[in-house]
Amino acid sequence: MNISPLQTARYAYKPKLPGMLRNGVGEICVRDGAPTESVADQEKIKALFPNTYGKNEITFEKGKNTSVSKKQVVGVILSGGQAPGGHNVVCGLYDAIKAADSGNVLLGFRGGPSGLIEDNYIEFTDEYIDKFRNTGGFDIIGSGRTKLETTEQFKIVTEVAKKHGLTAIVIIGGDDSNTNAAVLAEYMAANNTGVQVIGCPKTIDGDLKNEDIEASFGFDTATKTYSELIGNIERDANSAKKYWHFIKVMGRSASHVALECALETQPNICLIGEEVAAKKMSLSAIADYIADSVEKRGNNGENFGVAIIPEGIVEFVPEFSMLISEINELLAGKKTEEFNALPDWDAKYEFIEKGLSAEAFGVFKILPQFVQQQLFLERDPHGNVQVSLIESEKLFSALVADKLKARAAAGTYKGKFGTQHHFFGYEGRCAFPSNFDADYCYSLGYNAFMLIQYGYTGYLSKVSNLSKPAEEWVAGGMPITKMMNMERRSGEDKPVIRKALVELDGRPFEYFAEHRDEWAEKTCFTYPGAIQYFGPAEVCDLTTRTLALEKG
């Protein structure tokens, strides 16, 4: 296999650990913090997690290791979508395990949670691990989206753990995966299995964060990758001066990626779903907002621009959410089969008109036909509309075009409106991790083993003070239950980790809001360029604009 010079160089990169973890596992002690409680629904969460609820937050410090020495056999899985740095979590975990005792074992279960159920694993060795250091992707063991949530599954995992003598399981994943980790930890504790469960916070969407978890891993690399591409497009737009580029970026449930990319590149328009919801903006109002920028720039002879659209934007539009809700009800049960059996779109359109309320159909009929049809594509496992399949970048450019036609007819708009469309998603999920993500992820993995060695379970590996140099980072752990509340899922109230949305009173959004009017009218593009791996720390170890603004 041919290996690029960059890949060879990245293999040799030595990730930076927090200062308190640098003297080796034998010189790390624990400082207890305050007891915790869940972010909401405290009594319900406590009742569901009697063995793991309310535990103390902890911080690791330099000092004598007082943990009880024993052989450790640890299992690890990668769960959910890929995020840059996942390999380094595994590498950090492996190095810490072997530093404690060369006889310790790390088993990687293939294909995500299903690997645990199917007992499909590999025992890691130095030779195997070294092929994946500081690289992107999850191909070291693969990933999957199987949920660990039923008693039957837990019993199987318990048997697999017993077979291999597992002392702990590390689950590397997002909010759903770490919710599963909390439930599995509770089951293992309640049944006295002796198996600890530790989570690591992953998602490029940036919505697994709070006062303790300052950033989920992969967000830094993914947003830098998207920002490079957006900057390239901005430069092209400013060169050709003839297209408006509508760019959709990842972020189904929150707009952190879109906001970070806007802070990095200063586009003319960036929609923030949380603001759309707070202002109860309609599709028409959003189209008018974008059209205002197009009109001002076009009348000044600048018939080009860039608009960033979060992937899940339509779910934040109240009237669209109402439409989706009615469509989900319309196609409930066997109605999907009845709908799919209709001979053509005209027949399906008639079926839709009869089944929706007048208000919902009023929204539906103003949509371009391609979006109308996308609303009736394959359903998700719960029978709901797959919003991620909706080409919202094309939806808004079409709505804006209609607005501009009306304005041109009224004599207010004198420009030209040509469009290009882009969706940046997979391009960022497996990129070579930035130095920040390489360091952060390695630290999360190394730290996860310290939690295991000291006997913790139901905890999330936590590294904070991330806006400072790595030497000043603080390693520790927090009970996963601290992040949980009750939400309605598939007709039942279930404990889940609360997703973190963009805070409209937070400094990153406030900075964006202070500057966006100028960006909307003038050409203020900035060009971040490619991720840098070699050179001065102020270039190579730079954190996200979001984190820098949040931490001052």
E strands, 339-458, in order: 419-424
Topology of domain 320-385, CATH: Arc Repressor Mutant, subunit A (1.10.10)
* pLDDT tens digits for range 339-371: 999 999 999 999 999 999 999 999 999 999 999
φ, ψ of residue 387 in degrees (nearest 5) = -60, -30
Please report the DSSP string for 443-473 in residue order.
HHHHHHHHHHHTT--SEEEEEE-TTS-GGG-
Residue 384 scores a pLDDT above 80: no
100 three-class SS = helix
Q: For residues 444 and 433, is the Cβ–Cβ distance under 8 A?
A: no
Give the mean model confidence (pLDDT) for residues 66-72. 93
φ, ψ of residue 272 in degrees (nearest 5) = -115, 110
Q: For residues 86 and 137, is the Cβ–Cβ distance under 8 A?
A: yes
pLDDT band at 314 (very low <50, low <70, confident <90, very high): very high
Under CATH, domain 225-311+391-427+501-552 is a member of which superfamily? Phosphofructokinase domain (3.40.50.460)
Tokens of 230: 């957006």
Rounded to whole angstroms, how far apart are CA atoms 392 and 283?
11
Handedness of CA 527, 529, 534, 540 (dihedral sign): positive
Query: What single-letter DSSP state applies at residue 481?
Result: G
Q: Of all helices (H) and strands (E), which one includes residue 168?
A: strand 168-173
* pLDDT tens digits for range 90-145: 999 999 999 999 999 999 999 999 999 999 999 999 999 999 999 999 999 999 99
* pLDDT tens digits for range 9-42: 999 999 999 999 998 899 999 999 999 999 999 9
* pLDDT tens digits for range 235-254: 999 999 999 999 999 998 89
pTM of the model: 0.95
* Cβ atoms < 10 Å from Cβ of 487: 16
Could you tell me which residues come within 8 angstroms of residue 8 by beta carbon, excluding any fewer than 6 positions away? Answer: none
* pLDDT tens digits for range 139-193: 999 999 999 989 999 999 999 999 999 999 999 999 999 999 999 999 999 999 9
* pLDDT tens digits for range 264-294: 999 999 999 999 999 999 999 999 999 999 9
| Mean pLDDT, the chain, integer | 95
Question: In a 10 Å sphere around its CB, with 0-12 CB exposed, 13-18 middle and 19+ buried, how is residue 421 labelled?
Answer: middle
Residue 520 scores a pLDDT above 90: yes
In percent, the amount of the chain with pLDDT more than 90 equals 91
Rounded to whole angstroms, how far apart are CA atoms 441 and 473?
12
φ, ψ of residue 77 in degrees (nearest 5) = -130, 150
Q: Which residues pair with 76 in a beta bridge?
A: 108, 170
Q: Which of 131, 33, 39 is nearest to 500 (CA)?
A: 39
- Residue 306's alpha-carbon distances to 258, 275, 295, 398, 476, in angstroms, are 12, 19, 14, 15, 41
Please report the DSSP string for 507-552 in residue order.
HHHHHHHHHHHHHHHS-------S---SS-HHHHS---HHHHHHT-
Q: For residues 362 and 411, is the Cβ–Cβ distance under 8 A?
A: no
> What is the pLDDT, as a whole number, of residue 294?
98
Angle at CA 122, nearest 5°, toward 121 and 123?
130
> What is the pLDDT, as a whole number, of residue 488?
82
Question: In a 10 Å sphere around its CB, with 0-12 CB exposed, 13-18 middle and 19+ buried, how is residue 150 labelled?
Answer: exposed
Give the active site residues: 205
**Domain extents in the chain:** 5-218+433-489, 225-311+391-427+501-552, 320-385
Question: In a 10 Å sphere around its CB, with 0-12 CB exposed, 13-18 middle and 19+ buried, how is residue 27 labelled?
Answer: middle
Q: Residue 308 is which amino acid?
A: I
Q: For residues 85 and 216, is the Cβ–Cβ distance under 8 A?
A: no
Rounded to whole angstroms, how far apart are CA atoms 264 and 533?
18
Tokens of 474: 């603080």
Tokens of 40: 């909401």
Tell me whether the CATH fold assigned to 225-311+391-427+501-552 matches the one assigned to 320-385: no
Q: Does domain 5-218+433-489 have CATH number 3.40.50.450?
A: yes
φ, ψ of residue 239 in degrees (nearest 5) = -85, -50
> What is the pLDDT, as a whole number, of residue 381?
64
Give the mean model confidence (pLDDT) for residues 377-404. 86
Residue 48 scores a pLDDT above 90: yes
